[in-house]
């Protein structure tokens, strides 16, 4: 099959999943065309069966804002015609699904449209009355719409009320990139940062947005680190980076917190760590959870959105209420002191990720869906 994929190229779960999906499909000899404003994050190396088409958005005085949507739709239509695509897979309902629908009308081929909902396009934008009807239109005019979690699917029906079926297809991981077996990396990374093996390393990775509640992680860490020897690693970058550094200083824990910025090889940081924290206020799935769990980390997450669909409380990790950083700190201390418990949960998490979220299983679901659309 010839498949076009449009996503936001920046760091974030939706772009990463879209990119990994394309890479995995290319390995199965499908021809993949990424159509985006920049080369997507994690798509840095040349790959067999992968083509990248960048759009150039030009500003004109007549437009108050650069015409990204129209330019993208035009580019998608051109790629559809030139490369005779069979399917276009749009990640995010707005603006991408709308762009895909417009591109189909412009192009000369009867293209099939798949739209995947990732979270913000529903839980945030879906509450904006100026966008709600457009989101519903994008979902209903797509040939198939998928959601990355059952929680997001429920939110979509509640907020948007589309009159079509939505299929849940979970996110997945590339097992080759995130593998807990490489113990040498743990030793090397800890030596680099002068961290003793007996020190518990807690890590969080995100785009440092408000909804990630990194402030709750810092407060939980402050309480826990007063009781056990512990280091916190914060990986990523975003609008709250400076504010969180200031908060760490205010809480008098700055010397125990490593701000390592955006890391293209985040798996190396997972491998040197023991506990993964994701205390988001909203989270449609939590791809970073899968990546961390497959590197042998025990997760502590909030009960927001799809996080409880990934973490099985007291079986593969722990769930706390949103904003309950005190309970999160208790679990941090418990895991730090009880090596047997941490080891048990680690292996349970590894098994669960391998069974429910492995790339082969999830890519099979997408591949079957594409073939059914095309009547194969």
pLDDT tens for the chain, 376 residues long, are 999 999 988 767 788 899 999 999 999 999 999 999 888 877 766 678 999 999 988 888 787 778 899 999 999 999 999 999 999 999 998 899 999 999 999 998 899 999 999 987 676 665 677 788 999 999 999 999 999 999 999 999 998 999 999 999 999 988 887 777 677 899 999 999 999 999 999 999 999 999 999 999 999 999 999 999 999 999 999 999 999 999 999 999 999 999 999 998 899 999 999 999 999 999 999 999 999 999 999 999 999 999 999 999 999 999 999 999 999 999 999 999 999 999 999 999 999 999 999 999 999 999 999 999 999 7
**CA atoms within 13 Å, Cβ hemisphere of 287:** 26
Report cis status (omega within 30 of 0) of the bond before 148: no
Closest CA to 373 of 125, 146, 208: 146
Buried b (16+ CB within 10 A) or exposed e, 205-224: bbbbbebbbbbbbbbbbbbb
DSSP H helix total and E strand total for the chain? 15, 13
**CATH code of the domain made up of 183-356:** 3.40.50.2000
Taking the CA atoms of 361, 314, 206 and 233 in sequence, report the sign of the dihedral they define: negative
CA distance 56 to 100: 17
Which class for 150: exposed (0-12), middle (13-18), buried (19 or more C-beta within 10 A)? middle
Consecutive H or E run containing 357: none
- pLDDT at residue 306, rounded to an integer: 97
CA distance 286 to 301: 9
Q: Which part of the chain has CATH 3.40.50.2000? A: 2-172+358-373, 183-356
DSSP annotation of 221: H
**CATH code of the domain made up of 2-172+358-373:** 3.40.50.2000
CB contact at 8 A, 284 and 123: yes
Average model confidence (pLDDT) across the chain:
93
Q: Which DSSP string do the residues of 277-291 spell out, in sequence order? A: EE--SS-S--HHHHH
Residue 43, classed as helix, strand or coil, is coil
pTM recorded for the entire structure: 0.91
């Amino acid at each position: 099959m010839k498949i076009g994929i449009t996503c936001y190229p920046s760091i974030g779960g939706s772009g990463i999943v879209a990119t990994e999906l394309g890479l995995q499909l290319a390995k199965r000899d499908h021809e993949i065309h990424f159509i985006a404003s920049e080369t997507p994050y994690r798509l840095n190396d040349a790959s067999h069966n992968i083509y990248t088409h960048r759009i150039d958005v030009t500003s004109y005085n007549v437009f108050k804002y650069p015409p990204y949507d129209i330019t993208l739709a035009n580019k998608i239509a051109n790629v559809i015609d030139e490369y005779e695509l069979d399917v276009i897979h749009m990640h995010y309902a707005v603006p991408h699904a709308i762009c895909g629908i417009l591109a189909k009308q412009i192009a000369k081929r009867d293209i099939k449209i798949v739209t995947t909902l990732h979270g913000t396009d529903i839980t945030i934008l879906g509450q904006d009355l100026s966008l709600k009807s457009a989101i519903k239109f994008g979902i209903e005019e797509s040939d198939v719409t998928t959601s990355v979690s059952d929680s997001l699917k429920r939110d979509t029906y509640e907020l948007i009320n589309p009159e079509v079926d939505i299929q849940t297809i979970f996110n997945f991981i590339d097992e080759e990139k995130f593998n807990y077996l490489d113990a040498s990396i743990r030793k090397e990374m800890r030596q680099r940062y002068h961290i003793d093996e007996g020190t518990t390393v807690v890590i969080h990775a995100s785009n440092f947005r408000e909804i990630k509640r990194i402030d709750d992680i810092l407060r939980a860490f402050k309480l826990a680190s007063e009781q056990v020897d512990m280091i916190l690693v914060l990986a990523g970058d975003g609008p709250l980076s400076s504010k969180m550094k200031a908060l760490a200083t205010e809480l008098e824990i700055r010397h125990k917190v490593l701000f390592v910025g955006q890391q293209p090889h985040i798996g190396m940081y997972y491998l040197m760590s023991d506990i993964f924290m994701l205390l988001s206020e909203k989270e449609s799935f939590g791809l970073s959870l899968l990546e961390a769990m497959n590197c042998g980390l025990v997760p502590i997450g909030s009960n927001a959105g799809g996080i409880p669909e990934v973490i099985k409380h007291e079986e593969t990790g722990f769930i706390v209420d949103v904003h309950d950083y005190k309970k999160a700190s208790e679990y941090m201390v418990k895991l730090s002191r009880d090596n047997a418990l941490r080891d048990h949960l680690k292996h349970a998490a590894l098994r669960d990720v391998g069974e429910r979220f492995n790339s082969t299983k999830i890519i099979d679901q997408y591949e079957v869906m594409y073939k059914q659309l095309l009547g194969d």
